[in-house]
Amino acid sequence: MTAVAGHADELRDLDAALGDGDLGITVSSGSKAVVEAIGKLGDEVTPADIAKACAKAFANANPSTMAALVAGALLAGSKTWADSADVDQASAADFMQAAADSIGKRGKSEVGDKTILDALVPAVSALRDAPDAAAGLSAAIAAAERGVRETRELQSKRGRASWLQERSVGLQDPGATAFLRFLQSWPAP
């Protein structure tokens, strides 16, 4: 997560071109808060407990639309791990799908709207279809990279970026990029 905070300037610049430019701060402060929250957890925690702590920390670090969407996504994902002691490839994909569903519902968005979902949804499919967890992470990153690239051809349909209408075409979505940077920072299984 600390590596994601290192992309604050990139995310700020992408978001400034399409919105209010606060995504870099949101991701940086949220990531730092998540690392701190995880450090305070005891040894006897479940994956769901960790996800819930991350949701609370991210939401409280910076009040913004993205923070609310991410926190909601983490909470939705945590429900898929309710009785799990550990995480495997299938349960990680289930978590990511629940997160995507939450973002879609709360953000009233779908793939093609030029949002984080344009990277997240293809990553879920790639992870689920991979032969093992290591290949799944690589496939999810590759799918998210494609999704991010494809956002450049889309017109923004949600959030402040939608105000730009056709002028948003040619610009990369910052939320999709933030998700990609998160995946790229994840340690290989």
| Tens-digit pLDDT profile for residues 10-28 | 999 998 888 788 999 999 9
**146-178 pLDDT tens trace:** 999 999 998 888 877 777 788 889 888 999 999
- pLDDT category of residue 3 using cuts at 50, 70 and 90: confident
- pLDDT score at 94: 98
Angle between helices 174-185 and 117-129 (to 10 degrees): 40
More confident residue, 161 or 134: 134
Q: What is the CA radius of gyration of the chain?
A: 16
Q: Are 148 and 14 in contact (CB under 8 A)?
A: no
- What is the mean pLDDT of the segment spanning 68-96? 96
pTM for the whole structure: 0.93
Which string of DSSP letters, residue by residue, matches 6-35? TTHHHHHHHHHHHS-S-HHHHHHHHHHHHH
Instruction: Write down the domain spans for the chain.
Output: 2-185
Which residue do the tokens 């939608």 mark? 162
- What is the assigned CATH class of domain 2-185? mainly alpha
- Dihedrals phi, psi of 63, to nearest 5 degrees: -70, 110
Q: Are 27 and 165 in contact (CB under 8 A)?
A: no
- pLDDT score at 62: 87
- pLDDT score at 21: 86
- pLDDT score at 159: 76
More confident residue, 41 or 187: 41
Structure tokens at 115: 């949002």
Which residue do the tokens 């779908």 mark? 110
Instruction: Fill in the amino acid letter for 34.
Output: V
More confident residue, 5 or 92: 92
Question: Count of alpha carbons within 13 Å of 96, Cβ hemisphere only?
Answer: 26
More confident residue, 188 or 181: 181
Q: What CA–CA distance (Å, rounded) separates 124 from 135?
A: 13
- pLDDT score at 189: 73
- pLDDT score at 86: 93
Structure tokens at 90: 């299938």
- pLDDT category of residue 183 using cuts at 50, 70 and 90: very high
- Nearest C-alpha neighbor of 124 from the set 109, 107, 136: 136
Which residue do the tokens 């300037």 mark? 9
